[in-house]
Structure 1
Amino acid sequence: MSHIEVIAPHFKRRLSGVTSTIIQLVPVQARQIGITTFGPGLPDGLPKMRFWQMPLLWRRPASGRKRIWHARRNIEMVGGILFKALGAPLHLMFTSAGQRHHKPFTKWLIRRMDAVVATSGRSGSYLEVPHQVIMHGIDLEAFHPPRTAEDNFAAAGLPGKYAIGCFGRVRPQKGTDLFVEAMIELLPDHPDWTAVITGRVRPEHRAWTEGLKARIAAAGLQDRILFLGEVPDIRVWYRRVSLYVAPSRNEGFGLTPLEAMASGSAVVASDAGAYAEMIVPGVTGAVVPASDGESLREAVRPYLADPGLAKRHGEAGLAHVWSHFPLQNEANGLHSVYQKMWARG
């Protein structure tokens, strides 16, 4: 703890976008600064502050600077405010991915932060305090284009020559039903394509998901619109699809289009979350209004008709991610905010 200057708390056990961010980002940040996580639900490979070490928060690190408590949720802001009120020498920082007007309590918490970061221009538009926009990056070592035969769609043993994917938790918020309806309309005219859906189905969404499967069966497409459930390694599936669709009705940030582009796939996405700030329409993919199933279907159609278009946009997307969204860019941006807080004392 004597060398730890930044603490990234994680106060939820359940996997979420915040979890994914911390898992990917902290090891990169650790190359620049002394940083640790604090809380449950994270893999063992990450640096961790244990609960028995909490009293050390009242001691400054060897540098003499105040530690930075970098929160990403309300409960983590509460923790930082409490520790600071009890005398721990801390700077408080919050990263906001919310795409909505904040409730009064959240606004109260945010006003007590020493620095605030928004993950997109859209999320920043809902903040009522000075902030800096630093978009999430992507691990370009973990997500990359096909390199081996196993990365090709043919290795999956599924019908068709090309795959179109929709990944993430299967539920209405993610727009899985919009994707299924588009596939039911389009696939009969494009026999070379197979649609693949991956992700966990929570108990409260099982009946809804079974309804989607029934509609697929009624259309006679149960062999070409496939629910694979949770897969051991989603990264290989990004490499196997020629086109990725992100039809969310709402999102916080949403990393999946970046993961897809880093893997060489073209992307059609709704304008939920930060999707519209990631994609260059007509160059790396297309953006459509959230919840608009007809627009989604028509944006997908040209790619199924011309797989070469998907290939070209996938190549452009890969170059775009490498230029604008490497994970190191996010780490560098956050480090600059940390330095400004330390400069203030």
Structure 2
Amino acid sequence: MRETEPNVPIETLSSGNLQLIVPNLHRRYSGVTATNRMVAPKLAKLFRAGWLGSDAPEGIARIGLADLAKCWRRRDAVIWHARRNNEMIAGVLLRSLGWPLKLVFTSAAQRHHSWITRWLIRRMDAIIATSEISKSFLRREADVVMHGVDTGTYAPPADRAAAFAEAGLPGRYAIGCFGRVRAQKGSDVFVDAMCRLLPRYPDFTAVMVGAITPEQTAFAEDLRKRIDAAGLQSRIVITGELDIEEVPRWYQRLTIYAFTSRNEGFGLTLIEAMSAGAALVASRAGAAELVVEDGVTGVLTPSGDVDALVCALEPLMRDPAAAAAMGERARARVLEKFSLDAEASRIAEVYRRLV
């Protein structure tokens, strides 16, 4: 992989000039998929890259199993960058059968790994951790590369009031909590806080954007019962899963974003909301303590604590101008520290050491 080689146009990419495979071997759209989709097109500008699997983004060639088969016993090595166990398993198996792969794994987990994950990690050529916390749970050396966000796509709107009005929601301001509706994401903490705060602040509507999976149906129904009991059916809106392209516009409608996860690998919604200029109140989960300057670009709270969330949100709801100012500082923080270009550049350094 020579830095001087120009990127090959997508339409001319072949197994013979492929340098990087980005596998996405997961049928359900997830946060891992979202982070992968954002950085992959940036990497494709630096290396001749192909995306293998579902949810391929614009800006990177899509390859299939036939293309992969043509790489067998090729002389030049190809980077295989896994982000899940099944992708590591596939990489280890393919290499054992003669594919010339250099294996890279990105770990975002902030917990002790299972035995199979540890076994797979030992077989990787390089490991990337998304934070120092994630790195601390690994039993080998790793490069820390924080996630970045597309600051062009996740950008403040020209007119936030007009963006809010476009949604047809009651009031003048929105407060959001995005991600799959489940206890791990603290969806119940958000709903309980809104049931207490919204009656005091009639200009606000709460918006929850994210999928409700079949196994979480009972949990979601319980949340709806709480919302109904509070008489807030029109002011706590659960959109369900949206098309990927719609999500940035929903961030632009927010004045405040609540990150309520109890447990998180990184928490991409943190930097997405900050990039869109929303004021942030975040639980101390994932990378929140590394991303947020407490009291400056956001407010940190204990995970799972409804009282603390209410206390942190209320001053911002009381003073939307102060929330807007915090959102501007949050956007500046992302531009300085969490751009996609910076993430891609650091990942590229890891690749170049291998090949």
**Who is 1:325 aligned against?**
338
Cα distance in 2 between the residues matched to 1:215 and 1:10:
37
Matched, 1:340 2:350: no
Cα distance in 1 between the residues matched to 2:310 and 2:159:
31
The amino acid across from 1:306 in the alignment is D
The more displaced of 217-226 and 89-98 is: 217-226
Matched, 1:209 2:220: yes
Cα distance in 1 between the residues matched to 2:61 and 2:107:
23
Deviation at 1:329, TM superposition (A): 0.7
Cα deviation, 1:56-96, whole Å, max 9, x if unaligned, reads 22344xxx642111111111111111122223222111111
Counterpart mapping for 1:234-273 below 5 A = 234-273=247-286
Match of 1:175 among 169, 172, 186: 186
**Who is 2:67 aligned against?**
53
Gaps of 5+ in 1: none
Counterpart mapping for 1:1-345 below 5 A = 1-42=15-56, 46-60=60-74, 65-147=76-158, 152-232=163-243, 233-342=246-355
Cα deviation, 1:286-339, whole Å, max 9, x if unaligned, reads 111212222122111111111122111100000000111111111100000011
- Contact 1:151–1:239 under 8 Å retained in 2: no
Cα distance in 1 between the residues matched to 2:29 and 2:38:
13
- Contact 2:80–2:91 under 8 Å retained in 1: yes
Cα distance in 2 between the residues matched to 1:78 and 1:207:
33
The amino acid across from 1:217 in the alignment is D
C-alpha distance 54-152 of structure 1, shift in aligned 2 (>3 A) = closer
Aligned residues: 339
C-alpha distance 43-327 of structure 1, shift in aligned 2 (>3 A) = closer
**Who is 2:6 aligned against?**
none
The amino acid across from 1:318 in the alignment is R
Root-mean-square deviation over aligned CA pairs: 1.8
The amino acid across from 1:173 in the alignment is Q
- Contact 1:117–1:131 under 8 Å retained in 2: yes
The amino acid across from 1:298 in the alignment is C
Cα distance in 2 between the residues matched to 1:218 and 1:27:
46
Cα distance in 1 between the residues matched to 2:237 and 2:90:
43
The amino acid across from 1:126 in the alignment is F
Indicate the SS of the match to 1:335.
helix
- Contact 1:70–1:94 under 8 Å retained in 2: yes
C-alpha distance 338-45 of structure 1, shift in aligned 2 (>3 A) = closer
The amino acid across from 1:21 in the alignment is T
Identity, % of aligned pairs? 47
Cα distance in 2 between the residues matched to 1:236 and 1:273:
24
C-alpha distance 283-247 of structure 1, shift in aligned 2 (>3 A) = same
Indicate the SS of the match to 2:196.
helix
The amino acid across from 2:300 in the alignment is V
Indicate the SS of the match to 1:295.
helix
- Contact 2:279–2:327 under 8 Å retained in 1: yes
- Contact 1:264–1:315 under 8 Å retained in 2: yes
The amino acid across from 1:328 in the alignment is D
Q: Which runs of 4+ in 1 moved over 6 A?
A: none
The amino acid across from 2:69 in the alignment is P
The amino acid across from 2:134 in the alignment is S
Task: Provide TM-score, normalisation by structure 2.
Answer: 0.90
Cα distance in 2 between the residues matched to 1:44 and 1:317:
27
- Contact 1:265–1:314 under 8 Å retained in 2: yes
